[in-house]
Amino acid sequence: MEKGFQEKTCPRCHNSQMKSWQELSGEEKFLAERLPMSAEYTKRERETHLFCTRCWFEDAEKKIEQC
């Protein structure tokens, strides 16, 4: 399996479509802002996390590189 594919696979539900903050739609960002981890991290930190839009798992470990 390709490394990039595994990096974006949700460890909870195995959805292969985890998204970066920039990839989320406006509605998805609205929902992500209400996840429990929003109390633990700043908005800037959360913009480096990956999000599963199927089960709303937020992955703080697999951070994306900001340009």
Mean pLDDT of 31-48: 91
Whether the model pTM is above 0.85 = no
User: Cα dist. 57→1, 2, 8, 43, 67 in Å?
Assistant: 22, 22, 12, 16, 24
Residue with the bigger pLDDT between 12 and 6: it is 12
Residue 56 has pLDDT above 70, yes or no: yes
Residue 18 CB neighbour total at 10 angstroms: 22
Residue 14 has pLDDT above 60, yes or no: yes
Mean pLDDT of 26-54: 93
Residue 3 has pLDDT above 70, yes or no: no
